[in-house]
Amino acid sequence: MTDLFTVETRIEDHLGRTGTLRTPHGDIETPAFIAVGTKATVKAVLPESMKELGAQAVLANAYHLYLQPGSDIVDEAGGLGKFMNWDGPTFTDSGGFQVMSLGVGFKKVISMDATRVESDDVIAEGKERLAHVDDDGVTFKSHLDGSRHRFTPEVSMQIQHQLGADIMFAFDELTTLMNTRAYQEQSLDRTQAWAVRCIAEHERLTAERVGKPYQALFGVVQGAQYEDLRRKAAHDLETIVGETGRGFDGYGIGGALEKQNLGTIVRWVNEELPEHKPRHMLGISEPDDFFVAIENGADTFDCVNPSRVARNAAIYTPDGRFNINTARFRRDFTPIDEECDCYTCAHYTRAYMHHLFKAKEMLASTLATIHNERFTVKLVDDIRASIRAGRFQEFKKETLARFYS
Ligand SMILES: [Zn+2]
């Protein structure tokens, strides 16, 4: 088997690098932004349009596809890519984030462990706890119909093997910054124990499902804002090798972190992780976050944000984000971004986009999503090009000065 990942150009005096991530459905040049297609579709956009705007890969959510249509149906269809008519690389998350965030009241923070009674057990007023964590797994109620389900590391692996994505993630516990230090330690032990079980089940399924392309498994590094916990988590995951000796193929950097600590936390983790394995950063898409995470050694990213905000008329441009809904665009017959090479900017005006949103036309979401996804994909592509050209720091300074001015 050829190496999954090759490091190419490095950022001087930093952990950041460019590379190539190889999958059975094609290579991903890194750093790369991975578009999110939660339910096996990037909302409102055809896969052909995603390809055309430069998306290299798509990430779908195990939780959503397990509930609807069912991971067995995706399996029968020939896997996620075949099912959704996307012939490029695919990722799935473990379902852990969605399942466990059901237990968290909006903006109020709790641990998901029902036995805790202190600050770890606070839940927002009027919210029902929908998820309960124990050492073996998580029991939760479906957000669709309230039916009860249980995810364990083994179940998550079985679902993700059925979904058949090229890159999958281990089932981990989600904590928040408000959890106590004691809880974070306990949670990390649990995530480590689950990682061992994920590798074992992954190896069993890989051997059992003969003839399927190899699905790479990434471990997820938790540890919140604590340096010792983050370093320990990264180190401990790398010691898990399973029966085959292969271990994790790459790593995800997950969980609670504050924006101002992003670079520091990514650096702690990547100083511990082996150089030759790819590192995925879960859930970021703001320009400053990309630069900081890439500088500190993150290779791939996913986030629902570019498409989610697009459906609310928020448009990204090199000069910052604006809302196309505002009245000043009623008679503005220029493209939403003069410099953008996307389909939307090539063919439509701000006045038309404004009209579509005001009239609540479905095409508004499609055109705005195409633009925001293109903006995000291209930003990361341009960062990659700047590293190759040895001008990452200059490009960072120029881009951020302009975007946040
Ligand atoms: Zn555009």
CATH assignment at residue 79 = 3.20.20.105
pLDDT at residue 378, as a whole number: 98
113-128 CB burial, b ≥16 within 10 A, e <16? beebeeebebbeeeee
- In the listed set 308, 336, 368, which residue is the last one of a domain according to the structure? 308
- Structural domain for 327, as ranges: 314-403
User: Of 93, 113, 166, 249, which is the active-site residue?
Assistant: 93
Q: Write out pLDDT tens, residues 328-372.
A: 999 999 999 999 999 999 999 999 999 999 999 999 999 999 999
CA dist list (Å): 307 to 20, 36, 321, 383, 386: 26, 8, 13, 21, 25
Is residue 132 marked as binding? no
> Strand 300-303 and strand 131-133: pairing?
unpaired
Q: Are residues 233 and 261 in the same domain?
A: yes
Count of domains in the chain?
2
Our answer to whether residue 288 is catalytic in this structure is no
Q: Are residues 270 and 383 in the same domain?
A: no
Q: Write out pLDDT tens, residues 215-234.
A: 999 999 999 999 999 999 99
| Residue 246 domain flag | yes
Query: Which H helix or E strand runs over 385?
Result: helix 362-388
The pTM for the full model equals 0.93
- In the listed set 308, 327, 358, which residue is the last one of a domain according to the structure? 308
| Residue 113 domain flag | no
**Nearest C-alpha neighbor of 7 from the set 299, 301, 344:** 299
| Residue 26 domain flag | yes
Q: What φ, ψ does residue 391 adopt, rounded to 5°?
A: -130, 40
Q: Are residues 363 and 258 in the same domain?
A: no
Q: Are residues 365 and 324 in the same domain?
A: yes
pLDDT higher than 90, residue 162: yes
Is residue 96 marked as binding? yes
Q: Are residues 282 and 215 in the same domain?
A: yes
Q: Are residues 304 and 345 in the same domain?
A: no
pLDDT at residue 1, as a whole number: 52
Q: How far is CA 217 from the centre of its chain?
A: 14
Strand partners, 382: none
| Residue 105 domain flag | no
Residue 158 or 97, more confident: 158
Give the separation between CA 94 and CA 275, rounded to whole angstroms: 24
Q: Are residues 153 and 232 in the same domain?
A: yes
**Nearest C-alpha neighbor of 191 from the set 112, 109, 86, 289:** 112
pLDDT at residue 132, as a whole number: 87
pLDDT higher than 90, residue 105: no
Q: Write out pLDDT tens, residues 164-181.
A: 999 999 999 988 888 899
Residue 300 C-alpha to ligand 1 middle, in angstroms? 22
Least confident of 123-137, 212-226, 257-271: 123-137
| Residue 182 domain flag | yes
Residue 342 C-alpha to ligand 1 middle, in angstroms? 4
Torsional sign, CA 380, 43, 79, 157: positive
Is residue 198 marked as binding? no
Q: Are residues 393 and 272 in the same domain?
A: no
Give the separation between CA 53 and CA 77, rounded to whole angstroms: 26
* Radius of gyration of the chain from its Cα atoms, rounded to whole angstroms: 21
pLDDT at residue 385, as a whole number: 98
| Residue 278 domain flag | yes
Our answer to whether residue 93 is catalytic in this structure is yes
Q: Are residues 362 and 296 in the same domain?
A: no
Give the separation between CA 4 and CA 215, rounded to whole angstroms: 11
Q: Are residues 241 and 299 in the same domain?
A: yes
| Residue 121 domain flag | no
- In the listed set 248, 273, 308, which residue is the last one of a domain according to the structure? 308
Residue 71 C-alpha to ligand 1 middle, in angstroms? 34
Mean pLDDT of 124-151: 82
Token pair belonging to 10: 């490095």
Q: Are residues 332 and 293 in the same domain?
A: no
| Residue 276 domain flag | yes
Q: Are residues 196 and 240 in the same domain?
A: yes
Mean pLDDT of 35-57: 98
DSSP assignment, residue 317? E
Token pair belonging to 20: 């190539």
Token pair belonging to 335: 């493209």
Q: Within 13 A of 231's CA, how many CA atoms are on the CB side?
A: 7
Number of H helices, E strands in the chain: 15, 16
